[in-house]
Structure 1
Amino acid sequence: MSTRPITSSSTSSNTSTAAAIPVATAETEGAQPEKLSPQKDTQLPVLSDLFGRFHNYLRISVTERCNLRCQYCMPEEGIDLTDGDKLMTTPEILRIARIFVAQGVDKIRLTGGEPTVRKDIVELIRGLNELRPLGLRKIAITTNGIALRRKLPALREAGLDGLNISLDTRDPRKFELFTRRKGGTHVLQAISEAAKLGFDFVKVNVVVMRGMNEDEVPAFVEMTHDEGIDVRFIEYMPFDGNKWGQKKLVGYRDMLLNLHAIYGDAIERLPLEKNHTAKSYRIRGYRGQFGFITSMTDSFCSACNRVRVMADGNLKVCLFGNTEVSLMDLLRNGASDADIIETIGEKAYYPCLLLSKRLKSSLTHISESGDAHMVDVSGKQPTTRLAIARGRVRMNHETLTQIKQDQIKKGNVLAVAQVAGIMGAKSCSQIIPLCHPISISKVTVSFALQEGTYPEPLSCAVDIESQVKCKGETGVEMEALSAVSIAALTVFDMCKAVSKDMRIEDVRVVEKLGGKSGHWKESD
């Protein structure tokens, strides 16, 4: 994620647009709608965050229900559903949509659960379509496609612009295994039908899982030959309950390498779109395109322009964030549109608004005037602190062999990298501006050689672990990370004459002890 915020002048054009758009509410239907001001004490739009990203894309979950039981998504018995009276009604969804459009949102996507199981999904699309004069440009849904085909004409007529259709396998037997339901052929038929109905876009989302469907990637690419669809391969992502493990992850680079072996120079890279989530490609001569959503191996958080409202009316600015604001409580307690906008700004966005005095006083490294400074830790009680970090350098078999046999011309790679890592930990405060110089009592840097563990061509790796210990007022996580990073860079530097095709990855803290937060350990 980028840490260089955009100045207020660069987003001021959005402010004037948002402030001028009136919003009709459920209570004021037919009356003169109130005019909203996005922010009283700043020139930024309400929906801007610390990094200057303006969230003009709203995703609304319209139901928790789903007609599939995908193995990586939901247990076979389903989940405990929220009581119906605690979920948003259609008028509430439309009112929230109007409020966000008034603040500059120009794209809305309906999600679930499965949105097509909602009986009034067509009427809901039609209601959103009435927001176009207020600035809404795109209406889309994300669907599993099971019940989609017969609804496609009505959805198109109601104003739906595009679809994201989830399909992880083209094999009917695998489909039933993955989803615990039949219907894979219905989804394929819906995709083909949607491509013929003139939607602005039809995207097919494929979650790629090692040992399950990575062999089908070329077949999905072939779907773009005759139809103008966009197939997006999604890296398998972690969340509580899906028993996620790295062994199931297939990185986009590995998928792309396999496709290059099939299509060679016929693969063309397409320009990145603004606020992109996918790295896009096409096969020369094919009507459609394909891409990779690299959530795990190459984060696109810095380009994020999305904000989410859950089916229970809770607003989430970030999918992986913990902060939620209940908009439904505000709606049902009689709050005005202006009150709701103010609450969104105060509780969801205000903590990360640019140039906010409250923000500056709450960030320990930022002064009231906006200047960076070191935290005063002199009042903290010294405790014994330990941090463990890990990372790896992926490489080909030849490079690893030369390391093992001490044939690298620059010298003993692991010995030099070990010293470099220790020096990196000791020099951390000289490299990272706001880190405290601390008295380190112990640094260890160790290595494990992995041979044939990963897909070709980078099937081998040097795994690196550092442990840093001190007794002091502040932690040593940054020192441990610096040790791993500098050791990895040293391995790269010493081996690049053999092959520059190496990859430094997965550098992270895995455990820490001491300090106010006590013991923390990375989840399995």
Structure 2
Amino acid sequence: MFIGKSIFRKIDKRYLSSKASLIKPKITPRIENFRNKLKLDNTKILTDSFGRHHTYLRISLTEKCNLRCVYCMPAEGVKLTKNDEILTIDEILRISKLFVKNGVKKIRLTGGEPTVRRDIIQIIKELKNIKGLDSVGITTNGLTLTRQLPSLINAGIDGLNISLDTLKKERFDVLTRRQGWNRVMSSIDLAIQLKFSPIKINCVVMKNFNDDEIIDFVDFTRNHPVDVRFIEYMPFFGNNWEKYKMLSFNEMKNIIRNKYPNFCSIKNDDNSTSKGYCVPGFEGTVGFITSMSEHFCYSCNRLRITADGNLKVCLFEGKSEISLKNYMRNGASDEELEEIINIAVLKKKKKHAGDLSTSTFSSKNKIIFTHKSLNHGGLNMISRSYSKLSHVDENGKANMVDVSKKESTERCAIAMGIIEIGSTVSQLIIDNNMKKGDVLLVAKIAGINSAKKTFDLIPLCHQVALTNIDVNLKLDPIKNIVIIYSKVKCFGNTGVEMEALTAVSVAALTVYDMCKAAASPDQLKIKCIKLIEKTGGKSGDYIRQHSNVIN
């Protein structure tokens, strides 16, 4: 896509594959040449092509968690990586020392739930011995802190983030699908009694669920020296994210100012992801993490290591990860690891995955990606132009794309759609009292069947051997809408986006057909059918961001 791609193309498959054996091509001169063209500092391997230097590393110690928060994972949990594939303490320390050597000043330990790892205290002690590392923090749900906090403090922990999304015990049980609210509150009290600082409380705000507690959390800062941080509800695979549940930063701020007109902003640290505010006279402060409404990509200085040793340069990059663990276990030297990290950081995007804000659409179906941000030192990089559609030949005639030479990979696509149905139909569906039968079940079957026949319905689609089709419909009786999700998988040389979209479309039409006798045409409306994720293709993974589900 830009000048450096030719450098990466030859080494991507053999050198960046997490499943490949270690291969040691002589790529250092090429990388240095690339960096020289961009006029970047060759000594900073953690500086990306947009000049962002990364000084903050988050390390997940485990995938395990003792809660099942509804916004984080499905009720049935997730399939965990085998224990022998999780980073050992020696591997964690080796990675940490390598990143600190190259400029990382702060490490935060996350999970899953990091306190369930038995060697957590030893890990912190060892990290604190790394010369040049300024801070070691931890993000925890607080369930076990009443017995662990003194040891964590003695080990040298510098920062404490406690996740707490409600101040109501009954609501905590529903939200986390577990009990333990009293233990979390006791942990916060203990941290305050021990005069630990800073204490940050992370609260994910969801509309019509806990947004009525925003003022309660602000009031909590009146006599408690804590930083309550309201986090915009973000999409993660499996959490059934829906836009209408998200309350934006400005909406939350307006709610607070209705009670506290003098609610004002305070100075933020450099590269802070939180916008700081306070009510004058209160002991604590309030922050807002605005990942959805006002992203902070321009100042991002964060990298992540997953529990199984993969480097993620962006939380929103889907499955774009590089396995440092595999290279270490195959005998890679520190210098070789630095080259691998260097390549990954250089390929970090300017904004969240899927952003097309730099695209220009002309009247002749021509898309030009200008990537003005790659204009380093006067070097103008116009990446690529497309003057025709993929299903049109050189003569302008319809043409099926030849995929015979494409590599077969495991591919997946997820689509969604909404159909408005009105209050009467909504109640009939709840009562299962529609004359034509169970609306959601019949529509589910119709969606699955249509995905199988997409190649018959869409003229230039290939016939694909699908390995899995999952169609789910959920009634929202408050909004009087049915939300439809489809997930389609295959192993082949072309994607399944059209199959996923077809499944949603036909399921929506089926709902319309089964309900039209009980509602006027004005009450029934199919809308917002869109692709929200695809993985496994040559063009890379895609996750839709800032998607307005309702509109």
Q: Classify the TM-score, shorter chain.
A: 0.5 to 0.7
Residue type of the partner of 2:171?
K
Q: Which residue of 1 aligns with 2:271?
A: 275
Q: CA deviation at 1:351?
A: 3.3
2:242 counterpart (234, 242, 245): 245
Q: Which residue of 1 aligns with 2:103?
A: 104
3-state SS of the aligned residue for 2:347? helix
Work out the percentage of aligned pairs sharing the same amino acid: 45
- Residue correspondence of structure 1 range 45-56 to structure 2 within 5 A: 45-56=44-55
On the 8 A contact 1:47/1:55 being kept in 2, the answer is yes
Q: Which residue of 1 aligns with 2:346?
A: 350
Q: Which residue of 1 aligns with 2:136?
A: 139
- Residue correspondence of structure 1 range 453-492 to structure 2 within 5 A: none
Q: CA deviation at 1:268?
A: 2.0
Q: Which residue of 2 aligns with 1:320?
A: 316
- Residue correspondence of structure 1 range 69-468 to structure 2 within 5 A: 69-131=68-130, 133=131, 135-265=132-262, 267-321=263-317, 322-346=319-343, 348-351=344-347, 370-373=379-382, 375=384, 377=386, 381=393
Q: Deviations over 1:242-277 (max 9, x none)?
A: 111111111121111111111112x12112321121
On the 8 A contact 1:87/1:313 being kept in 2, the answer is yes
3-state SS of the aligned residue for 1:206? strand
Residue type of the partner of 1:256?
K
Q: Deviations over 1:333-368 (max 9, x none)?
A: 12111111111112x1233599xxxxxxxx987799
Q: Deviations over 1:453-506 (max 9, x none)?
A: 99xxxxxxxxxxxxxxxxxxxxxxxxxxxxxxxxxxxxxxxxxxxxxxxxxxxx
3-state SS of the aligned residue for 2:76? coil
On the 8 A contact 2:316/2:543 being kept in 1, the answer is no
Q: CA deviation at 1:372?
A: 3.9
For residues 352 and 521 of structure 1, the distance between their equivalents in structure 2, rounded to whole angstroms, comes to 15
When residues 379 and 331 of structure 1 are mapped into structure 2, their CA distance, relative to the original with a 3 A threshold, is same
- Residue correspondence of structure 1 range 487-498 to structure 2 within 5 A: none
Q: Which residue of 1 aligns with 2:471?
A: none
Q: Structure 1: any 5+ residue segments left out of the alignment? A: 1-36, 355-362, 386-452, 455-507
For residues 165 and 373 of structure 1, the distance between their equivalents in structure 2, rounded to whole angstroms, comes to 45
When residues 207 and 372 of structure 1 are mapped into structure 2, their CA distance, relative to the original with a 3 A threshold, is same
When residues 302 and 215 of structure 1 are mapped into structure 2, their CA distance, relative to the original with a 3 A threshold, is same
For residues 384 and 196 of structure 1, the distance between their equivalents in structure 2, rounded to whole angstroms, comes to 75
When residues 259 and 327 of structure 1 are mapped into structure 2, their CA distance, relative to the original with a 3 A threshold, is same
Q: Structure 2: any 5+ residue segments left out of the alignment? A: 1-28, 36-40, 351-368, 399-477, 480-527, 533-537
For residues 216 and 353 of structure 1, the distance between their equivalents in structure 2, rounded to whole angstroms, comes to 36
- Residue correspondence of structure 1 range 17-36 to structure 2 within 5 A: none
3-state SS of the aligned residue for 1:238? coil
Q: CA deviation at 1:68?
A: 0.4
When residues 75 and 191 of structure 1 are mapped into structure 2, their CA distance, relative to the original with a 3 A threshold, is same
The answer to whether structure 1 residue 59 and structure 2 residue 58 are counterparts is yes
For residues 226 and 102 of structure 1, the distance between their equivalents in structure 2, rounded to whole angstroms, comes to 41
Q: Which residue of 1 aligns with 2:365?
A: none
3-state SS of the aligned residue for 1:125? helix
Q: Deviations over 1:200-256 (max 9, x none)?
A: 311000001111111111111122112221000011111221111111111121111
When residues 331 and 172 of structure 1 are mapped into structure 2, their CA distance, relative to the original with a 3 A threshold, is same
3-state SS of the aligned residue for 2:215? helix
Residue type of the partner of 1:107?
K
Q: Deviations over 1:118-144 (max 9, x none)?
A: 11111111010111x2x1001001100
Residue type of the partner of 1:310?
T
Q: Deviations over 1:415-439 (max 9, x none)?
A: xxxxxxxxxxxxxxxxxxxxxxxxx
When residues 378 and 232 of structure 1 are mapped into structure 2, their CA distance, relative to the original with a 3 A threshold, is closer
Q: CA deviation at 1:284?
A: 0.6
3-state SS of the aligned residue for 1:264? coil
For residues 160 and 154 of structure 2, the distance between their equivalents in structure 1, rounded to whole angstroms, comes to 14
When residues 126 and 50 of structure 1 are mapped into structure 2, their CA distance, relative to the original with a 3 A threshold, is same
When residues 378 and 205 of structure 1 are mapped into structure 2, their CA distance, relative to the original with a 3 A threshold, is closer
Residue type of the partner of 1:342?
E
On the 8 A contact 2:201/2:229 being kept in 1, the answer is yes
For residues 182 and 511 of structure 1, the distance between their equivalents in structure 2, rounded to whole angstroms, comes to 36
Residue type of the partner of 1:139?
V
- Count residues in correspondence: 351
Residue type of the partner of 2:332?
A
On the 8 A contact 1:48/1:353 being kept in 2, the answer is no
Q: CA deviation at 1:159?
A: 0.8
For residues 302 and 211 of structure 2, the distance between their equivalents in structure 1, rounded to whole angstroms, comes to 28
Residue type of the partner of 1:114?
E
Q: CA deviation at 1:88?
A: 0.5
Q: CA deviation at 1:378?
A: 6.0
Residue type of the partner of 2:257?
H
For residues 235 and 379 of structure 1, the distance between their equivalents in structure 2, rounded to whole angstroms, comes to 39
For residues 245 and 95 of structure 1, the distance between their equivalents in structure 2, rounded to whole angstroms, comes to 39
On the 8 A contact 1:510/1:521 being kept in 2, the answer is no
TM-score, normalisation: structure 1:
0.62
For residues 100 and 106 of structure 2, the distance between their equivalents in structure 1, rounded to whole angstroms, comes to 8
For residues 350 and 305 of structure 1, the distance between their equivalents in structure 2, rounded to whole angstroms, comes to 13
Q: Deviations over 1:261-307 (max 9, x none)?
A: 11112x12112321121111011111110011111111111121100
